Amino acid sequence: MRKELLILILMVSMLNIAFNARADWRRYVWTYEYMTMRKGTFELETYVTSEIPDVNKSNVNTVKPLLELEYGITDRWDLAIYQLFKVSNKSKETDTEYDGFKLRTRYRIGEKGQFILDPLLYFEYIREEELSKPNVLEAKLVFAKDIGRYNFSYNQIVKQEVDNRGETENEYAFGSSYELSRRLRLGLESKGNYTKEKFYLGPSVSFAADKFWAGLGMLTGMSAKSDDLQVRLIIRYPILKSLFFT
């Protein structure tokens, strides 16, 4: 319990350093869209994801807090580093641990509306805390389209282990959303892993204030190998404008 409290205090403390600036507004919590950071700006995101294998035994679950720091190199290209944590709630005990880190970069191709679909490239390096596990490289090809107040985004995902066995996983994520107002959007998301035969579907909602953005999503397992339920909350704050760019 003390370790869980320390993680929560750390996440809240980092949020409290936010400066007076506007956060970029995402639509989804599992699906990436046609968006990158603005040049010379930093933003902090906190994720909390709960995975419940069996809703009839909801006290047995895994909670995955995550901290992400993003930086806009140009208006089309950004970088991010993630710090991963994991809280494993078992029937009689709870384990809290550091779970590794990720490095990520995104690049927007062209400008919105230049092509039939708006394309974005996404690359990620994953290093788990357990060093016996292989490094993982992940690539996403993102296509998005705005039609009036509607948005549609699709991610084709490949994960490749970097070792002698080199296992490959093929995944996808898809989101559709509708803008109810300037601050509120409702969406429907689906994600899946073709290799592991895990598939999910559920609603999401995003809310934008002047100085932060929040997104909440819930997915229901659609296959026998899926978790019964997954819930994710993301809060995003702008924290600093770079001194290197004006």
What pLDDT digit, counting tens, does each position of 181-238 carry? 989 999 999 999 999 999 999 999 999 988 889 999 999 999 999 999 999 999 998 8
pTM of the entire structure?
0.86
Q: Report the pLDDT value the prediction gives residue 239, as an integer from 0 to 100.
A: 75
Residues 6+ apart with CB under 8 A from 197: 223, 224, 225
Confidence class for position 21, pLDDT limits 50, 70, 90: very low
* Residue 80 predicted with pLDDT over 90: yes
Q: Which domains does the chain have, with CATH numbers?
A: 2-241 (2.40.160.40)
CA pair distance 52, 220, nearest whole angstrom: 10
**E-assigned strand segments in 38-76:** 41-52, 61-72
Average pLDDT over every residue of 87-105? 90
Q: Which of 50, 230, 43 is nearest to 35 (CA)?
A: 43
> Which residue matches tokens 């579907």?
201
Q: Report the pLDDT value the prediction gives residue 156, as an integer from 0 to 100.
A: 99
